[in-house]
Chains A and B, each alone.
Chain A
């Protein structure tokens, strides 16, 4: 699986958009970009994933660059409950699939 690089930590003001970057320069053509987050002492929560196109759901938006070597997760209006470790993971979508977690980004939303 391709590796990812994320900043160790980020801060965001409550109510503002949080933009979390991720580099995945060695991503393969059939690998997806997945985003999960983990609030302390809980299991990871699925946020969003994409292959080539930008994606949006009720939680967030995912912007993937045209060359697919990087992506940005956008939380449009961050709240205090969005404080968590955010993991960007790349992996295949087929049956031979596993999610390998890196260290992620600790996002702290401040009041």
Chain B
């Protein structure tokens, strides 16, 4: 399958700071990228969907000013957690898809964020 790479794999930051997570599609052009969050022992929860060059569409209850998503190119999307708090500690996972070629989406390896 296609490869989606996330960076970093894990990050620890201080409360009040911002953290940026990158998601890259390595061998295909991602017309659409998705960002998920997963708390321990829970399923993945979709946060937002972004199409290249367009503003992200956020799911209900997700603060768009806190979770900034940029999808400036067909191979890169970034999620910035602004003014992070301990309750933002979670496993963040991105997914990418080229809807013109494939119906399936492929996932990154995830980023473990710990806010202290």
Contacts and interface: CB of A to CB of B under 8 A. Distances in A.
Contacts, number: 57
Interface residues of A, number: 23
Interface residues of B, number: 26
A97 B32 contact: yes
Contacts of B31: 95
A98 B36 CA distance: 11
A98 B107 contact: no
A95 B97 CA distance: 10
Interface stretch (B61-69, B73-81, B98-106): B98-106
Contacts of B108: 43
Contacts of B11: none
A93 B98 CA distance: 11
Interface string A72-108: 0000000000000001000001110111111110000
Contacts of B110: 41-43
Contacts of B1: 45-46
Contact of A49 (B6, B103, B112): B103
B46 A103 contact: no
Contacts of A34: 104
Contacts of B43: 87, 101-104
A44 interface: yes
Nearest to B57: A98
A43 B93 CA distance: 6
B44 interface: yes
Given A34-B104, A87-B43, 16 more contacts: A41-B91, A43-B4, A43-B6, A43-B109, A44-B95, A45-B107, A46-B1, A46-B106, A46-B107, A97-B99, A98-B34, A98-B49, A99-B46, A100-B46, A101-B46, A104-B43
Interface of A: 32, 34, 36, 38, 41-46, 49, 87, 93-95, 97-104
